Amino acid sequence: MKKLLYLLCIFLLFSFAIYAFLPSYLSVSYNDTPVEITIPEGASLNYVAQLLYDADVIKSRTWFKYRSKAEGIDRKIRPGSYVLDPDMSLEEIFILLQKGAPQDPVILTIPEGFTLYQIAERVEAIGFGTKEDFISTTTSYFEDKDYDFDTNKLFYPLEGYLYPDTYYFNENQSLLSIVNTLATKMQDVFTTEYKERAEEMGLSVHEVLTIASLIEREAYNNSEKATISGVIFNRLNRGMPLQIDATVIYGIGKGKEHISRVLYVHLEDPSPFNTYKVRSIPPGPIAAPSKTSIHATLYPEDHDYLYYVLGADGHVFSRTHREHLVNVENYRRLMNQN
């Protein structure tokens, strides 16, 4: 008899635990990254439950269907594409699925060489929240992922890690899902081949993206990127400062403001991004590099150029400082003629 009572108490405690904790456990999304799903026209509740379960969004199809019917939304789910963020409650998922997804996408175009701050401004301009919220989301995203570089001297930890491209979102897109899409695209562009090549060169991914961002901001066109990459590595190998104006501009503006002209006083700025003072690459990227710039970083042109200056149709390269001064003077004459 005592054994029976003991078993009965255990059963009751177990039942209470299930009743008290299981609903809350089953009522939060299971995915740890944003997930996009598409619900077709005329989809049944069973279909939607299976779709969410297969996408690892919900933990139980039965609980999802029970809650859907209990709250009367089982016949209100609208077709369309949806992005489901991590840690969404079932209530939030139900609200989203009843809103419906727009047929026309919202287009976000990020030009190559944009800074993270400029990307934030572009995101704000198309109605996805304020630039401050976007920047805050990039910081939170960085903290949740396994990036392994020092951020002490950086203005934005994800600078250079959001790939410049044209993206198509829906109006229900969250800032987290936007950041995840941009960051994931950069990870996809940085292929296994690129990682292996970087390791051969003794470079980290962070260093590659940093150099690629310099090339992105310096190159007149894609055809000269590998040549500029060669100049950068030649100067680094000789212990020469890179003397790249774009890094000075980035440091003075703290990643936000942009000055149109670099003055001699700016070259004395103590920022770690000032490559006139620091004989190394900056502590991080200064913009979003394209694949062509990343490729040029990993496969620099083999030459003995140490200098370049803008000419009539792209940059003019030189091996000695004397040759460089002649090219600079030619550039000044060209500017005066215009």
Q: pLDDT for 46-81, tens place per residue?
A: 989 999 998 888 888 898 898 888 888 888 888 877
Q: At residue 120, does pLDDT exceed 90? A: yes
SS3 38: strand
| The pLDDT value given to residue 121 | 97
| The pLDDT value given to residue 160 | 97
| The pLDDT value given to residue 103 | 59
Full set of structural domains in the chain with CATH: 22-99 (3.30.1490.480), 102-303 (no CATH)
d(C-alpha 45, C-alpha 272), whole Å: 57
Q: Of 98-112, 187-201, 320-334, give the lowest mean pLDDT range.
A: 98-112
| The pLDDT value given to residue 14 | 43
Residue range 87-110: average pLDDT? Answer: 82
- Residue holding tokens 């695209």? 185
| The pLDDT value given to residue 8 | 47
Tokens of 124: 């704000």
| The pLDDT value given to residue 105 | 81
Query: How sure is the predictor about 86, in pLDDT bands with cuts at 50, 70 and 90?
Result: confident
227: nearest Cα among 160, 282, 309: 309
Query: How sure is the predictor about 173, in pLDDT bands with cuts at 50, 70 and 90?
Result: confident
Residues 241/279, Cβ–Cβ less than 8 Å: yes
Q: At residue 251, does pLDDT exceed 90? A: yes
Residue range 154-173: average pLDDT? Answer: 92
Q: At residue 17, does pLDDT exceed 70? A: no
Q: At residue 26, does pLDDT exceed 80? A: no
SS3 28: strand
d(C-alpha 248, C-alpha 242), whole Å: 11
Q: At residue 254, does pLDDT exceed 90? A: yes
Higher pLDDT, 261 or 277: 277
Residue range 42-47: average pLDDT? Answer: 86
Tell me the pLDDT tens digit for each residue of 210-245: 999 999 999 999 999 999 999 999 999 999 999 999
Helical pair 291-298 and 205-218, crossing angle rounded to 10 deg: 110
305: nearest Cα among 313, 314, 317, 323: 317
Residue range 174-188: average pLDDT? Answer: 93
Residue range 101-129: average pLDDT? Answer: 90
Handedness of CA 140, 142, 145, 151 (dihedral sign): negative
- Residues whose CB is less than 8 angstroms from the CB of residue 219 and which lie 6 or more positions away in sequence, other chains included: 225, 228, 293, 296, 315
311: nearest Cα among 325, 330, 326, 324: 330
| The pLDDT value given to residue 102 | 58
SS3 224: helix
- Residue holding tokens 């699925």? 97
Element (H, E) at 198: helix 192-201
Higher pLDDT, 266 or 188: 188
Return the beta strands (E) in the chain as ranges: 35-39, 80-84, 106-109, 166-169, 307-311, 314-318
The mean pLDDT of the chain is 87
- The pTM for the full model equals 0.76
d(C-alpha 107, C-alpha 272), whole Å: 35
| The pLDDT value given to residue 101 | 60
| The pLDDT value given to residue 42 | 78
Residue range 143-162: average pLDDT? Answer: 94
SS3 36: strand
